[in-house]
Structure formats: C-alpha cells, structure tokens
Amino acid sequence: MALEESHVRRAAHLARLAVSDDQAIGFVDDLSRILDMVDQLQSIDTEGVSPLSHPLDATQRLRADEVTETNQRDTFQRCAPAVENGLYLVPRVVE
C-alpha cells in the first residue's frame, strides 16, 4: 500500500498536529522510507533467535540492600495534624 498525503494529514489530525502542505509532502517520503525499512526487517528469518532485553550481555551492578538512614518517623509525625498508632490520619475522600 502506497502512503499518500491524505494518510499523513489524517494521522496528523488524529494526533492533533498542525501540518503544512510542504511538511505533509515531506512526511510522505520520510514515512514511506520508514515503512520500507520495516518491510525489510520483517523479511529477515529470526527463527531460533532468542529475544534480548539488551544488545550487550551485561548485568546491572546493584548496591547492598542495607538500611542507610535512621528511623525518623516520630520526628516527622510530630508535625502531622493527626496520627494514630504510627499512621497518618487523613480526611476520607470517597464515601
């Protein structure tokens, strides 16, 4: 299916984008090349290729799961308008 200017204008309307005549013509060419590249990628045989989350075989360095801050709950709750049993009390929103 060939991409036409009316298709670009329709997509721009749906996306609420203002597109001039010159831009629409340019987008037809750009989008056609992108769709051609997608067609080329779809023609590649990927049978037996496992999906990757990242192209490099790397792992994320993680920090140790240790408590690094002191418990300041009592300090923070002193300035709260309403507290009960260590919990903040807030007005009911949904009845």
Strands (DSSP E) contained in the chain are: 83-84, 87-88
pLDDT of residue 1: 63
Residues 29, 5 contacting (CB under 8 angstroms): no
Which candidate, 61, 89, 91, places its Cα nearest to that of 77? 89
Positions in the chain short of pLDDT 70: 1
Residues 3, 32 contacting (CB under 8 angstroms): yes
pTM of the model: 0.49
DSSP state of 49: P
**pLDDT digit string, tens, across residues 34-55:** 999 999 999 999 898 888 877 8
Distance CA 48, CA 46 (A): 6
